[in-house]
Structure 1
Amino acid sequence: MADLFDTGATGAAAADDAASVRGKRPGPRPLADRLRPATLDEVIGQQQVLGHDAPLGAMLSAGALSSLILWGPPGVGKTTIARLLAAQTDLHFVQISAIFTGIAELRKVFDAAGHRHANGQGTLLFVDEIHRFNKAQQDGFLPHMEDGTILLVGATTENPSFELNAALLSRAQVLVLDRLGLADLEHLAQRAEKELGRPLPLTGPAREALLEMADGDGRAALNLIEQVAAMDPAAPLDTGALTRRLMRRAAQYDKSGDAHYNLISALHKSVRGSDPDAALYWLARMLEGGEDPRYLARRITRMAVEDIGLADPQAQSICLHAWEIFERLGSPEGELALSQAVAYLALAPKSNAGYAAYKAARAAARQTGSAPPPKHIMNAPTAMMREQGYGEGYAYDHDAEDGFSGQNYFPDGMARGVYYLPVERGYERELKKRLDWFVKLRARRES
């Protein structure tokens, strides 16, 4: 009986075999299926994984293939690589999707793999979107991986360190696949033209625009190429004519996924690096991807507090005003205020002295526990408290020379802490002068 989810033959080969049995020609096949690589050497890109000295190449040369997690964006060859690995290592290929597979279906897959294993046949189980499995389902793979029943190859578009169990990751090697570059996509286009038997009816700039539309996704590129190949223009299409006929592929962005954190990190670091152009680009990328502007307003305000601080006290007010303007105007007009706040932050003087001081003070507070303030700065509202010395010896700073008493305000017995170290940038340059002045006055009072 045929195994459920069993795809021992490729879909294309199975279709050809079935058609030949019926005495009929196979039906039309999409270009992406016709150009599916037959060997790992035909896979375009990913040499950092497939090269002879790369992890996968080294495993295959040594004949010691281990379980793998293929992490990368859509359309970079994860499924193709898994299928070719099974063919090259003579393993039975089984493909399932975590989206459509539950515990009962997994048991059937494991049982069938167990029967094959008992008969001397190994199984490469390819799990698409493996990060969609919950912890219990992921744990279900472990015993079958350990006893050799299956060799697991999982595919994910999300960061495995966030989405997969540590136990599963410890039994598999994570390989990172990159989005295809323009050179890779051009190689793919040339291969498609050879298969089609004619060049694409595009001018040079239009051809480049077509490849950029794919946004690093090989499958999307072939779909676009197939649409263009079906056209029969009187003259090669220029960029304008091409963009009127085709839609650009939507950018990869998941507001709760890896891209979300990567892009907000890029925005934050561009602001910290005083590059307004890069900061505005990443802000635009997130807005184009559908990010909530209120989330961006909150993070932009955090940047002002964390990376600019008192070097430019006005920066926080500008962020809060931009946030308020967005709330009043909404999208898209309010987003202009956010972009102006981002540009201001990028060009503002930078200091994390306040942030560092706060963290240092918190660390000191944890170490000193519940040490009380010195008695001379405690209030004494009752006679008993006055008898205990509360408030005794307190020097009222307004009565002191220069309005500064220089008294100790740390707990008795605690060494004086130094946490705030302003930088010589922006407004903090003035604050540093004040701080240095108080240090000198304190030393004079103590002497």
Structure 2
Amino acid sequence: MADLFDSTATAAAAKPSAQRPLADRLRPQALTDVIGQAHVLADTGPLGAMVAAGQLSSLILWGPPGVGKTTIARLLADLTDLHFVQISAIFTGVAELKKLFEQARHRQGNGTGTLLFVDEIHRFNKSQQDGFLPYMEDGTIVLVGATTENPSFELNAALLSRAQVIVLHRLELADLEHLAQRAEGDMGRPLPLTAAARDALLEMADGDGRALLNLIEQVMGWPAGDPMTPDGLATRLMRRAAKYDKSGDEHYNLISALHKSVRGSDPDAALYWMARMFAGGEDPRYLARRLTRMAVEDIGLADTNAQAVCLEAWQTYERLGSPEGELALAQAVIYLALAPKSNAGYVAWKAAQALARKTGSAMPPKHILNAPTGMMKDQGYGAGYAYDHDAEDGFSGQNYFPDGVKRPALYLPLERGFERDLKKRLEFFERLRAKRQGS
């Protein structure tokens, strides 16, 4: 795994080799060389504090590709005098794990600890993850796992309870620029790009240091000529697809960002996040379904047209497909973002569900029950029922809740959009109910 390098002295000490990739040549030689992770590597950060204390515990390094997970693990092993062993969960089976544990135990008997670095640790199933536990507990190994997936979803609780999760961040543009300068120093010449093309190259890396170094190596291999413009760069390099796993964290992160942008009445942000999801290959039908959910959850009865707009956009997409139908979904996003918001219906439904669970199997009051048999009439079913259409104002004000259940106020409409009118109607019926019950 390629990572990041910062020491000019170290670069001078090791002459570049044509056979070694640029990313390998620029591998950091000290934790202070690693770019972009100061929040964990500084003296006040969790890893910096561990190194200062000389006590390294098991870790899970969680972050996107190309941010230094493997290199950090290797440097931690060097700093703590642990024997470094690296495996990938993709290629390692149970038999090989047992052999590694036996070797680590033998090493421990000779006074040397083992740092076992497991790349893609989330690829191990739950029972395989359990296999690490006794060796972590008795100090046979210090486990450092690397994952791009959310550990709380992919790793079992027992493993997480024995390891500290360290979150690594994607590299910012300033970090990538620093890395580009290192590469130029190693290769002895500047990138043959205009300032705008250089910015475009950094953006192509999408926060991935290894990807940037690979792109730089390609650019440096082109024939000499005038500095290349962004258009020229685009003709020679394919832009990297944004990292997007339709079943993973990025999927849930982006739909959350879209939903909250709609709720926050920001159509520009909502359009951006939906465009990001489309660019990642998200199923438009999933987006149509989630937009409809937003309409009923966050807009509700404040704008009764919002749900219809979503359903029509959904139907339009089904008829037109991509890319034409995507515009209908985009327009639905704009409508939802700018619509008046109310979650009063959502809150009322949640409260009704809670009340239903609390009251269990309480019967409806007998006066609103039908009495199709004589026995049911004798039991008082239907007795005293007031037919609302015959009442003044078409409203009887009688009780519809079970006997003994205090009447709750579940639906509390807001002074927004169409709910203003519903609030007036509700208040009107509440006044009539009080009048009927008082008379």
What TM-score does the superposition give when structure 2 sets the normalisation length? 0.95
Does residue 1:379 correspond to 2:370, yes or no? Answer: yes
Does residue 1:238 correspond to 2:241, yes or no? Answer: no
Matched residue SS, 2:169: coil
1:332 Cα shift? 1.4
Which residue does the alignment assign to 2:411?
Answer: 420
1:75 Cα shift? 0.3
Q: 2:349 corresponds to which letter in structure 1?
A: Y
Matched residue SS, 2:118: strand
Which residue does the alignment assign to 1:176?
Answer: 167
Which residue does the alignment assign to 1:7?
Answer: none
Which residue of 200, 211, 218 corresponds with 1:227? 218
1:340 Cα shift? 1.0
Which residue does the alignment assign to 1:94?
Answer: 85
Q: 1:401 corresponds to which letter in structure 2?
A: E
Which residue does the alignment assign to 2:382?
Answer: 391
Structure 2 CA distance, aligned partners of 1:234 and 1:354? 65
* Pair 104,27 (structure 1): closer, same or farther in 2 beyond 3 Å: farther
Q: 1:236 corresponds to which letter in structure 2?
A: P
Structure 2 CA distance, aligned partners of 1:175 and 1:58? 13
Which residue does the alignment assign to 1:332?
Answer: 323
- Per-residue CA deviation, residues 256-315 of structure 1 (Å, 9 max, x unaligned), is 111010000000000000001100111110111011111111111110111111111111
1:232 Cα shift? 2.7
Which residue does the alignment assign to 1:79?
Answer: 70
Unaligned residue ranges in structure 2 (runs of 5+): 3-15
Number of residues of Structure 1 aligned to a counterpart in Structure 2: 425
Does residue 1:140 correspond to 2:137, yes or no? Answer: no
Matched residue SS, 1:381: coil
Which residue does the alignment assign to 1:117?
Answer: 108
Structure 1 CA distance, aligned partners of 2:223 and 2:44? 45
- Per-residue CA deviation, residues 203-237 of structure 1 (Å, 9 max, x unaligned), is 11111111000000000000111111112342111
1:393 Cα shift? 0.6
Mapping of residues 44-59 of structure 1, within 5 Å: 44-59=35-50
Mapping of residues 9-408 of structure 1, within 5 Å: 28-408=19-399
Structure 2 CA distance, aligned partners of 1:136 and 1:323? 43
Q: 1:435 corresponds to which letter in structure 2?
A: L
Matched residue SS, 2:146: strand
1:362 Cα shift? 0.6
Structure 1 CA distance, aligned partners of 2:404 and 2:58? 59
Which residue does the alignment assign to 1:19?
Answer: none
Does residue 1:442 correspond to 2:433, yes or no? Answer: yes
Structure 1 CA distance, aligned partners of 2:35 and 2:263? 37
Structure 2 CA distance, aligned partners of 1:109 and 1:234? 52
What percentage of residue pairs aligned between the two structures are identical? 77
Structure 2 CA distance, aligned partners of 1:155 and 1:312? 47
Runs of 4+ aligned structure 1 residues displaced above 4 Å come to none
Matched residue SS, 2:383: coil
1:26 Cα shift? 6.8
- Per-residue CA deviation, residues 335-359 of structure 1 (Å, 9 max, x unaligned), is 1111111111111110000000000
Structure 1 CA distance, aligned partners of 2:109 and 2:70? 27
Does residue 1:409 correspond to 2:400, yes or no? Answer: yes
What TM-score does the superposition give when structure 1 sets the normalisation length? 0.94
1:414 Cα shift? 1.0
Which residue does the alignment assign to 2:13?
Answer: none
Structure 1 CA distance, aligned partners of 2:260 and 2:215? 35
Matched residue SS, 1:333: coil
- Per-residue CA deviation, residues 99-142 of structure 1 (Å, 9 max, x unaligned), is 11111111111111111111111110000000110011000000
Structure 1 CA distance, aligned partners of 2:235 and 2:49? 46
Unaligned residue ranges in structure 1 (runs of 5+): 1-9, 12-24
